[in-house]
Structure 1
Amino acid sequence: MKTPEQVRAEFLRRGISISEWSRKNGYSAALVYQILRGGKSCLRGQSHEIAVKLGIKPGIVCDIDEFSAELAAEALKEPAALLG
């Protein structure tokens, strides 16, 4: 995982502005700046996605439909495992 300072340094090294990265990824630049300042907990939603994409926190980025399908598939497997 990276610290917010490391992420900022990587933007500088690559010559990419935080605002440009935000636009290209469909996020508010203000939200990305808040995350890099440590002003957001990044537990869910866009702040979670941003933190994961920037490498600030571990996690998975998926949409709710994909997650629901994965849960349903796991639920179908469980009863079979219980039967032996």
Structure 2
Amino acid sequence: MHATRTPAQAKAWIESQGKSVKDFAEENHLDLHTTYQVLAGTKKGKRGEAHRAAVVLGIKQGSEQ
């Protein structure tokens, strides 16, 4: 089990891979606007697409299904 990231750490992690948020969202089949909202902290990722985005970004632990 790995430690979770903060939204700021998740954004830095994406950038450290040389990717844009748009590229990351497309590669992981995530809604771009929801991904930005999770990274900004306006959506907490409690359910649905926001939860899936938070899990893929490493902000929350859970199943990526």
Q: TM-score over 0.5 for the alignment?
A: yes
Give ranges in structure 2 of 5+ residues lacking alignment.
Answer: none
Most deviating of 4-13 and 31-40 = 4-13
Deviations 1:18-71 (A, max 9, x none): 101111222221110000000112111111111011110112233xxxxxxxxx
Q: How many residues align?
A: 62
Higher relative contact order (CA 8 A, sep 6+): 2
Query: Normalised by the size of structure 1, how large is the TM-score?
Result: 0.67
Give the 4+ runs in structure 1 shifted more than 2 A.
Answer: none
Alignment RMSD (CA, Å) = 1.1
Higher helix share: 1
1:57 matched to which residue of 2? 60
Task: Look up the equivalent residue of 2:35 and give its one-letter code.
Answer: V
Give ranges in structure 1 of 5+ residues lacking alignment.
Answer: 63-84
Query: Normalised by the size of structure 2, how large is the TM-score?
Result: 0.84
Whole-angstrom distance in 2 between the partners of 1:9 and 1:54: 11
